[in-house]
């Protein structure tokens, strides 16, 4: 299984809602990532988990809260979002995040299209 799955595919939420995005992989990868992508822009790294520990938080507002319950799952909890947070949220995984590793290619999921009203 070489797939990263993300649910839901689409999400519409109000500014007072609480929702969660889910990501799953069964490739045995130990690094997982959340990215945000706006239209016609490249993906922007938000968070990196390495061996289930948060290793990078790219100054993301606290209304985004990541969670890595186990090595296969990654969640992104959303609360009190703003309309400018509307974007495609991409999850990715890679075998490791080691500097000398040969296995740093990232596998991306299809994304969750989020609209904040």
Partner 1 sequence: SQKIEQNSEALNIQEGKTATLTCNYTNYSPAYLQWYRQDPGRGPVFLLLIRENEKEKRKERLKVTFDTTLKQSLFHITASQPADSATYLCALDMGYGQNFVFGPGTRLSVLP
- CB-wise, 82 or 98, nearer to partner 1? 98
Residues composing the chain = 117
Contacts with partner 1 by CB under 8 A lie at 4, 33, 41-45, 48, 50, 55-56, 58, 90, 92, 97-99, 104-111
Q: CB of 35: closest distance to partner 1 in angstroms?
A: 8
Tell me the longest C-alpha to C-alpha distance in the chain.
Answer: 44
CB crowding 75-99: b at 16 or more within 10 Å, else e = bbebeebeeebbbbbbbbbbbebee
**Residue whose tokens read 């929702």:** 19
User: Is 47 within 8 Å of 59 (Cβ atoms)?
Assistant: no
Q: CB of 82: closest distance to partner 1 in angstroms?
A: 23
Kindly calculate the radius of gyration of the chain based on its CA atoms and give it in whole angstroms: 14
- CB-wise, 90 or 116, nearer to partner 1? 90
Q: CB of 115: closest distance to partner 1 in angstroms?
A: 14
Q: CB of 94: closest distance to partner 1 in angstroms?
A: 9
- CB-wise, 78 or 90, nearer to partner 1? 90
- CB-wise, 2 or 70, nearer to partner 1? 2
């Amino acid at each position: 299984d070489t797939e990263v799955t993300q649910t839901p595919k689409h999400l519409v939420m109000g500014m007072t809602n609480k929702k969660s995005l889910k990501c799953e992989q069964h490739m045995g990868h130990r690094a997982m990532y959340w990215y945000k992508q706006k239209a016609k822009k490249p993906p922007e790294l938000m968070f990196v988990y390495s061996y289930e520990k948060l290793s990078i938080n790219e100054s993301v507002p606290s209304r985004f809260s990541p969670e890595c319950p186990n090595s296969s799952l990654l969640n992104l909890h959303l609360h009190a979002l703003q309309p400018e947070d509307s974007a495609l949220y991409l999850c990715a995984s890679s075998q490791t995040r080691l500097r000398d590793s040969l296995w740093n290619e990232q596998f991306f999921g299809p994304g969750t299209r989020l609209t904040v009203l």
